[in-house]
Amino acid sequence: MATLKDIRKRIVSVKNTQKITKAMKMVAAAKLRRAQQALMGGRPHADFLRESLTRLVGAADAYDLPLLKKRENAGKAHLLILTSDRGLCGGFNGNLLRFVEHWRSHEGKEFSEVEISVIGRKGRDFYRAKKIELDSFESWSQEAFTFADAQAMAAKWQDRYEAEEFDVLYLGFNHFKSAISQETTLKTVLPVTVEPQSETLPGPVAFEGDPKALLKQLVLRQLATEFYVAVLESQASELGARMSAMDNATNNAGEMIDSLTLMYNRARQAAITTELMDIVNGAEALG
């Protein structure tokens, strides 16, 4: 049975842990507000760019650009998965990686080969434990992810796609819905997909300059925007998941402290009762 000293040590230890989890929750909440602001600013830009691309493709009679053309009999797919470098964020990484593995076991079988690249140490550790070799791995830099970083990422994967290293590129990430809710997503990035126009325009669309050159530039920007918004979604989701996980850990620590305090008081009362009985028994023996 635990002694009073042991219980006191456990209470102190849990209180120290609670201070850490509470601080981590506050840090994640502060970072989440900034990440949400960046994401809310990026989403409208992506929607407007997607709409502009749709209109331009229709007006330009869909010029035959390699990034827009789907390859027939696509046999090789590539998965780029956005995970985190750090843990303590609930099911953020596990849910996404299980979702991707389920896709590989089912829908991914239509491809003759599926290669995997990962950004984030948790994804690397997951596939290392499964003894699955990755095509490439990168960790996140400590600096904020900018649109210039997204353009460099887009250029890298564009070059590999045009070199026919793969036929389809999928981007796996967590879509941010709220601080307590994230949705696992697997999105086709290459070739760039343009959704059919949902409504008929009232008149012809006028563009300044050569529509073909404009379309090419717009497709490249659309590709970079896809990467940019996906990273913002992933970062906001990670911070939301970490804030929620640390909040739950703080509450659990409080419940454990209450339970240990009750145990300590009962043990202390039992010790006092035992001492009183010894005194009474001693007095009776002397009397």
Which CATH number is 200's domain given? Answer: 3.40.1380.10
Domain containing 280 — which CATH number?
Answer: 1.10.287.80
User: Alpha carbon of 51 to those of 152, 158, 203, 262: distances in Å?
Assistant: 23, 22, 16, 62
pTM: 0.85
For residue 25, give the nearest of 110, 90, 121 by alpha carbon: 90
Provide the number of structural domains found in the chain. Answer: 2
Catalytic center residues: 89
- Above 60 in pLDDT, residue 201? no
Regarding whether 167 and 61 lie in a shared domain, the answer is yes
111 shares its domain with 148: yes
Which percentage of the chain shows pLDDT scores above 90? Answer: 53
Give the structural domain span for 108: 28-243
* Per-residue pLDDT tens over the stretch 172-190: 999 999 888 899 999 999 9
Same domain, 234 and 250: no
Could you tell me which residues come within 8 angstroms of residue 252 by beta carbon, excluding any fewer than 6 positions away? Answer: none
